[in-house]
Structure 1
């Protein structure tokens, strides 16, 4: 978060002080990622700029406390006219509600208008997992035999993807592992830091251990225990875009849709576990979801898959459609 973004705040000094306090709380108490903090900060700055024009003067804490739901709806309508989709509007409203809650907790006033406005409705899209055979092909070094890449690079990418599919990691979590944390044969548990700085332990299956061991055996760099496990061509930390590009190349060769991304392997991990009788609460813990409702979306994915199979293959379904 840059100081420049705070100095230019279009509001009175009491609001600016509250804004600084709120951002500090997001970063240090809630431990949100810098990108999330910046997004929330930008949303509130945009609202305060709108309010300055709406009220004819920079807003004070008293002005915020005096807002009505109509004022908030006017802002949302203004943003929608700028072309914002419902998801972005919802995030902006969430940022303003977070700021208002901080004002109330710190005794700076009750800005209750934000809570009285309904969030914009967002069409719910289901995760798009990759079918198990295709997921395994993505992890297979031989899938990329035709590429002009060094063998250790192919083994590295396969090891990263093995962690996404075999352990359900986010790509940022896999690339944050240190050499000392490598799940090699004999190390069947890994510990990662997820969203919000939360730590969780995950089992590392033998296939993941073998993929990481193969990479380490071929890696030309002497990796320090405290340094990154996965490195780029020059020995520095591996950029996630390199892995994303590798999957994009394989996606074309395997005839997979654009939705087949590294993150889709995490969706596949959850969906395939669930379809084989995995417990939803356990899957929640493995994925690091704060809420069970976030994990429950995978039950809809599995139900949709079963419905599609039924429609395609059941004789009565085919007869009805004919």
Structure 2
């Protein structure tokens, strides 16, 4: 294995770096992104020039070759990947220096922290959802659209995190057993306790929930209906945590991970013309786009930024406490009166 070699003996620097990203706990999606960019840079270099021998002019030429082909923010992202690669390989002693340092100082392009995103109307999104026939795929998309949760939070949901007023489901499944849901029927609980590599409810998790405080999110009739259709085909699972969403193809009965959800969403977004390679956050519809859609449309319909921030799980403790203590009046009533309809 490359990890057993001295860094100065690395014959495939890109492979060495990607392997170390694995050891550092980076996701497959992150590793694939880095490798795609770094292999592209490797192929760009003149024959006989290795990444270790590349100069700052080689790096500048590569960055310049991207301009006009991809968005400015993507140019900046690719440059940042290359900069990190060189910085790391220098630190471990495989390279003598980082030729990207000067390039980064002189670049005009920057990573767009808050890109303008595709504007999709509620009727257009309703049509998109109607085209998703698979019960699991529709349940994933509708849950993201109706709750605004992050993809990792979606994957970490267990049956105990879902409370529904449906006798058929409650008799068949052990739902809503969390005490916080005892007096809050038709709701989902998003815990702050899930971390990558940490054990929760008897299962080691592969995704983190980024919330600092737990959040109870209402489940309206459309989401309840969509989840019931999913339960009709949901495979049994061997996980002691009883995940809400599990695989129906590869990894049959295993908890879905964020990468699997991203692939599912990408498939339907491509079919709709809402995703293309190199499109970036401003153009492509991803699971994170659904969080943006939820925020924009629910905020516009309610005029209540506090409720939306509470549901997103990104408000200060004092505000969260306000909505937690008056959940029925301020959260459920506001949500149910204003949440958009997605099913025909």
1:15, 1:59 within 8 Å by CA — same for their partners in 2? no
Q: Which residue of 2 aligns with 1:266?
A: 291
Q: Deviations over 1:263-291 (max 9, x none)?
A: 65332212134433325994796489xxx
User: What SS does structure 1 have at the residue aligned with 2:210?
Assistant: strand
Does 232-241 or 126-135 show the bigger shift? 232-241
Q: Which residue of 2 aligns with 1:76?
A: 63
Q: How far does residue 20 in structure 1 lie from its aligned partner after superposition?
A: 4.7
Q: Which residue of 1 aligns with 2:185?
A: none
- Kindly indicate whether residue 76 of structure 2 is the aligned counterpart of residue 90 of structure 1: yes
- Given the alignment, which residue of 197, 200, 216 partners 2:210? 200
1:72, 1:117 within 8 Å by CA — same for their partners in 2? no
Q: Which residue of 1 aligns with 2:336?
A: none
Q: Which residue of 1 aligns with 2:105?
A: 116
Q: How far does residue 161 in structure 1 lie from its aligned partner after superposition?
A: 3.1
Question: Aligned partners of 2:87 and 2:77: how far apart in 1?
Answer: 15
Change (3 A) 1:95 1:157: closer
Change (3 A) 1:224 1:181: farther
How well do the aligned residues superpose, as a CA RMSD in angstroms? 5.0
- Kindly indicate whether residue 305 of structure 2 is the aligned counterpart of residue 278 of structure 1: yes
Question: Aligned partners of 1:50 and 1:242: how far apart in 2?
Answer: 32
Q: Deviations over 1:192-245 (max 9, x none)?
A: 779x94323543313277346523553375455546625549994687566677
Question: Aligned partners of 1:284 and 1:104: how far apart in 2?
Answer: 43
Q: Which residue of 2 aligns with 1:32?
A: 26
Q: Deviations over 1:4-61 (max 9, x none)?
A: xx9xxxxx965647545532342332x33223212312322333444454xx54454x
- Kindly indicate whether residue 168 of structure 2 is the aligned counterpart of residue 190 of structure 1: no
- Given the alignment, which residue of 126, 142, 155 partners 2:116? 126
Q: Normalised by the size of structure 1, how large is the TM-score?
A: 0.54
Change (3 A) 1:278 1:27: farther
Question: Aligned partners of 1:271 and 1:205: how far apart in 2?
Answer: 18
2:153, 2:209 within 8 Å by CA — same for their partners in 1? no
Q: Which residue of 1 aligns with 2:224?
A: 210
User: What SS does structure 1 have at the residue aligned with 2:245?
Assistant: coil
Q: How far does residue 164 in structure 1 lie from its aligned partner after superposition?
A: 0.8
2:151, 2:287 within 8 Å by CA — same for their partners in 1? yes
2:234, 2:246 within 8 Å by CA — same for their partners in 1? no
1:168, 1:270 within 8 Å by CA — same for their partners in 2? yes
Question: Aligned partners of 2:84 and 2:139: how far apart in 1?
Answer: 39
- In structure 1, runs of 5+ residues without a counterpart are 7-11, 252-257, 289-322
Q: How many residues align?
A: 252
Q: Which residue of 1 aligns with 2:146?
A: 166
Does 184-193 or 117-126 show the bigger shift? 117-126
Change (3 A) 1:99 1:223: closer
1:26, 1:37 within 8 Å by CA — same for their partners in 2? yes
Q: Which residue of 1 aligns with 2:318?
A: none
* Structure with greater Cα Rg: 1
User: What SS does structure 2 have at the residue aligned with 1:199?
Assistant: coil
